[in-house]
C-alpha cells in the first residue's frame, strides 16, 4: 500500500503547486502515522495558516509543540532557524547575542544566495536524524515537511547540490553534502508530489517529478491527486438525468428544491467527474511513481474526521 511505503521512511517531503492541499495531505499523513503509534513531527515553512487548524489543535509556532498525543508541529522561519544554527555551533551565549544583534549579520543572511533554504532543509533533515536519551532513540519516528509551492520547492531541493559544488570545504559544504545524501536516500526520504485535477497543477506535478530526478537526483515516490470529484450516479441514473434535462422537465423536489436547479447541479458534477478522469489519465501517463487519488471533501471546515477519511483512502491506495 502507498501509505505503508511512505510511512516506513523517516522523512516525507510534500511539494506541488500552491493551492493543491499539501497541508491537508500532510496533516492526514501525520494523523495516520500518530494513530498507529508513531511519534511524528509535521513541519511547515513560514506559513500564515498552520495545518494545525485541520487537526483541531492550537496553531503551530516556531518551537516544536505537541498538537495531539504523539503528533508534534512546528512552523519554521528562516531567521529563527539561522539563529538556532548559530547557537548550536558557537555555544557561547554572549557571543551569539552580539552576532544576532549585528546589522551586518542580518544583511549577510538576507543577501547570501541559498543560505536561508540550506538552513531550512538542514533543520528538517536534522529533525529526522535527531536522537535522545541514553538509548539514543530517534526523537521522531517520522518527519513530514510541507515544502513551498512547486517552483520554490524545486529551488529549495537544488540548494544543497549547488552549495556542495560551490563550497568544497568547511562546515557549510559538509552540511550541504550530508543533506543531499539524506534527500537522495530512498530508504530515508520520500518525495510525494501533490496535485489537483486541473491543467497547471498536473503539468507542474509532472515537471517537478521529472526535474527533481534529472536535476537533483531525487526521485518522487508518490503522486497524490487531491480533491477528485468522484461519480455519484450509476449509468442508468446518468442516462435519466440527461433525458430529464433534454426534455425540459420541471417541478419541485422534496425539500422545495426546483428540479431545474437539481439537474443543473447534477450536470456540473458530471462535468467535474469527467474533468477529474481526464487529468487523472494524463497524470498516470506521465507518472513514474505510484498514484493515489483523494476525494473532494464537501465540508465547510476540515477537521480530524475529514483527515481520517483521507487517511483511509491513502491506506487503500
Structural domains in the chain, CATH included, are 2-229+290-316 (3.40.50.300)
Q: State what percent of residues in the chain have pLDDT above 70.
A: 97
Contact between 12 and 6 (Cβ < 8 Å): yes
Contact between 194 and 224 (Cβ < 8 Å): yes
CA gap 298, 152 in Å, rounded: 30
Given this model, what pLDDT does residue 187 score?
Answer: 96
Given this model, what pLDDT does residue 164 score?
Answer: 82
Q: Using 50, 70 and 90 to split pLDDT, how confident is the model at 112?
A: low
Look at 317 and 126; give whichever has higher pLDDT: 126
Cell numbers placing 82 = 539561522
Q: Using 50, 70 and 90 to split pLDDT, how confident is the model at 42?
A: very high
Look at 213 and 166; give whichever has higher pLDDT: 213
pLDDT at position 198 over 80: yes
Q: Using 50, 70 and 90 to split pLDDT, how confident is the model at 113?
A: low
CA gap 254, 183 in Å, rounded: 56
- Give residue-wise pLDDT tens across range 133-187: 888 899 999 999 998 776 677 888 898 888 888 777 777 788 889 999 999 999 9
Q: How many CB atoms lie within 10 A of CB 177?
A: 17
CA gap 231, 217 in Å, rounded: 38
Q: State what percent of residues in the chain have pLDDT above 90.
A: 55
Beta bridge partners of 190: 12
pLDDT at position 307 over 70: yes
Q: Which residue has the cell 426546483?
A: 258
- Please state, in angstroms and as integers, the Cα–Cα distance from residue 116 to each residue in 45, 149, 164, 217, following that order: 11, 16, 15, 21
Q: Using 50, 70 and 90 to split pLDDT, how confident is the model at 1?
A: low
pLDDT at position 114 over 80: no
CA gap 267, 240 in Å, rounded: 12
CA gap 144, 74 in Å, rounded: 11
CA dihedral 11, 197, 158, 61 (to 10 degrees): -50
Contact between 163 and 172 (Cβ < 8 Å): yes
- Give residue-wise pLDDT tens across range 226-261: 999 999 988 898 888 888 888 888 888 888 888 888
pLDDT at position 111 over 90: no
- Biggest CA-to-CA distance, the chain: 82
Given this model, what pLDDT does residue 105 score?
Answer: 65
Amino acid at each position: 500500500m502507498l501509505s505503508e511505503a511512505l510511512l516506513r521512511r523517516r522523512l516525507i517531503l510534500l511539494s506541488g503547486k500552491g493551492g493543491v492541499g499539501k497541508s491537508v495531505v500532510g496533516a492526514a499523513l501525520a494523523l495516520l502515522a500518530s494513530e498507529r503509534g508513531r511519534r511524528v513531527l509535521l513541519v511547515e515553512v513560514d506559513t500564515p495558516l498552520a495545518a494545525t487548524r485541520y487537526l483541531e489543535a492550537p496553531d503551530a509556532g516556531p518551537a516544536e509543540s505537541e498538537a495531539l498525543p504523539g503528533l508534534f508541529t512546528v512552523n519554521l522561519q528562516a531567521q529563527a532557524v539561522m539563529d538556532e544554527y548559530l547557537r548550536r555551533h558557537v555555544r557561547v551565549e554572549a557571543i551569539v547575542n552580539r552576532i544576532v544583534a549585528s546589522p551586518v549579520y542580518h544583511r549577510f543572511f538576507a543577501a547570501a544566495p541559498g543560505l536561508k533554504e540550506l538552513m531550512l532543509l538542514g533543520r528538517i533533515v536534522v529533525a529526522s536524524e535527531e536522537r535522545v536519551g541514553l538509548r539514543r532513540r530517534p526523537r521522531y519516528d517520522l518527519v513530514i515537511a510541507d515544502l513551498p509551492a512547486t517552483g520554490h520547492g524545486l529551488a529549495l531541493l537544488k540548494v544543497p547540490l549547488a552549495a556542495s559544488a560551490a563550497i568544497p570545504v568547511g562546515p557549510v559544504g559538509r552540511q550541504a553534502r550530508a543533506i543531499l545524501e539524506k534527500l537522495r536516500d530512498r530508504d530515508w526520504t520520500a518525495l510525494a508530489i501533490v496535485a489537483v485535477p486541473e491543467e497547471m497543477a498536473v503539468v507542474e506535478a509532472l515537471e517537478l517529478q521529472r526535474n527533481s530526478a534529472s536535476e537533483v537526483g531525487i526521485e518522487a515516490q508518490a503522486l497524490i491527486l487531491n480533491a477528485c470529484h468522484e461519480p455519484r450516479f450509476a449509468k442508468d441514473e446518468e442516462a435519466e438525468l440527461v433525458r430529464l434535462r433534454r426534455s425540459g422537465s420541471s417541478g419541485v423536489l422534496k425539500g422545495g428544491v426546483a428540479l431545474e436547479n437539481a439537474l443543473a447541479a447534477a450536470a456540473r458534477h458530471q462535468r467535474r467527474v469527467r474533468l477529474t478522469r481526464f487529468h487523472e489519465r494524463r497524470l498516470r501517463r506521465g507518472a513514474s511513481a505510484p498514484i493515489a487519488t483523494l476525494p473532494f471533501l464537501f465540508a465547510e471546515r476540515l477537521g480530524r474526521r475529514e483527515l481520517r477519511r483521507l487517511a483511509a483512502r491513502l491506506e487503500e491506495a
